[in-house]
Amino acid sequence: MAISSQPVTISKDSWLRSFMDKYTLKANGINFKDWEEQLCIAVEGNGKLRYLVEPPIAIPTTRTSTAAREAYEEYQRESLVIKNVLIFAMESSLQKQCIKFSNAYEVFSRFSTMFSKAPRILQYDAAVHLFEANLKDGQSVSSHVLKMIEYVETLDELGCKIPEELVVDRVLHSLSQVKGFTQFRVNYNMANMKKSLHELHSPLVQAEKDVGGSVSTREDVLNIKVKGKDTFKRSGAW
């Protein structure tokens, strides 16, 4: 059941406003424990802790009673307010990660999981995922690239910045197992293109449409002919 979207306002004298004004979650999560502790004190004191720690109420069905439907609507309204408080009380790079979440529970769970580990472990996990990621047959290239961008941003937030050109090379190499992207990579390198990681996303999505989606895997073989210099044999232009 959809809830009509209304602007979320927060009273200047509310406990929510007080929390937002005093505490901001850092992008690297270094102050998460203090932020979490103060947040829980604030919401528990106002009887709203359940919106952070308990899974959301199930979406009503046609058989749901009126009372249960009203309880769901109230939950959605309260959770939306708290979700906005959480988003306002964190640095901008973290705010971007919250757009996809629909309630306070999902936002809180995300960062509880993310920052419950030591920064060094988070860095290691993100690095492993970044350098082992490979596009699979039938997988959307868009979701694949966006996931890799997420790993890069996590590393960046933890103070481990990888040169963007190297990251782009890693993304291009991660496509090597899927037919249809070999020519894209060859053309990209031959044209000496210099795109940012985010700029690379759009042409890759278009390339996927041009080849009708990824349909099979094969070993990445480039045809090389030697005529004084090594040259790539390619067809078409990119």
Q: What average pLDDT score do residues 190-210 get? A: 87
Locate 24 and state its tokens. 């901001």
Most confident of 129-143, 205-219, 223-237: 129-143
Residues 6+ apart with CB under 8 A from 212: 180
- Angle 140-157-185 from CA coordinates, rounded to 5°: 35
Does this model's pTM top 0.85?
Answer: no
pLDDT of residue 15: 64
Q: Tell me how far the alpha carbon of residue 181 is from its chain's centroid.
A: 23
Q: Would the pLDDT of 233 be above 70?
A: no
Quick one: pLDDT at residue 237? 40
Query: What is the overall mean pLDDT for the chain?
Result: 79
pLDDT at 163: 93
Report the residue count for the chain.
238
- Give pLDDT, residue 156: 85
Phi, psi of 231 (to 5 degrees): -130, 150
d(CA 67, CA 110): 30
Contact between residue 35 and residue 25 where contact means Cβ atoms under 8 Å apart: yes
The enclosing H or E element of 226 equals strand 224-227
Does the structure show a pLDDT above 90 at 2? no
- Give yes or no for residue 109 having a pLDDT over 50: yes
Q: Is 65 helix (H, G, I), strand (E, B) or coil?
A: coil
Which two three-digit tokens encode residue 119? 């920064």
Please give the average per-residue pLDDT across 94-120, as a whole number. Answer: 85
**Tokens read off for 63:** 């058989």
Has residue 14 got a pLDDT over 70? Answer: no
Nearest Cα to 150, choosing from 93, 108, 68?
93
> In the predicted model, is pLDDT for residue 169 greater than 90?
yes
The closest of 177, 178, 195, 198 to 238, measured between CA atoms, is 195
122 — pLDDT class (breaks 50, 70, 90) = confident
Mean pLDDT for 143-148 is 90
Instruction: Please state the three-class secondary structure of 13-28 as a single string.
Output: CCHHHHHHHHCCECCC
Is the pLDDT reported for residue 23 higher than 60?
A: yes
**16-20, 101-105, 147-151: least confident range:** 16-20
Confidence (pLDDT) at 52: 92
In this prediction, residue 97 carries a pLDDT of 84
- pLDDT of 26 above 80: yes
Instruction: Please state the φ and ψ torsions of residue 204, each to the nearest 5 degrees.
Output: -70, -40
- pLDDT recorded at residue 188: 87
Distances (CA, A) of 140 to 18, 50, 178, 187, 212: 43, 36, 11, 21, 12
Q: Is the pLDDT of residue 217 over 70?
A: no
| Secondary structure of residue 230 in the 3-state scheme | strand
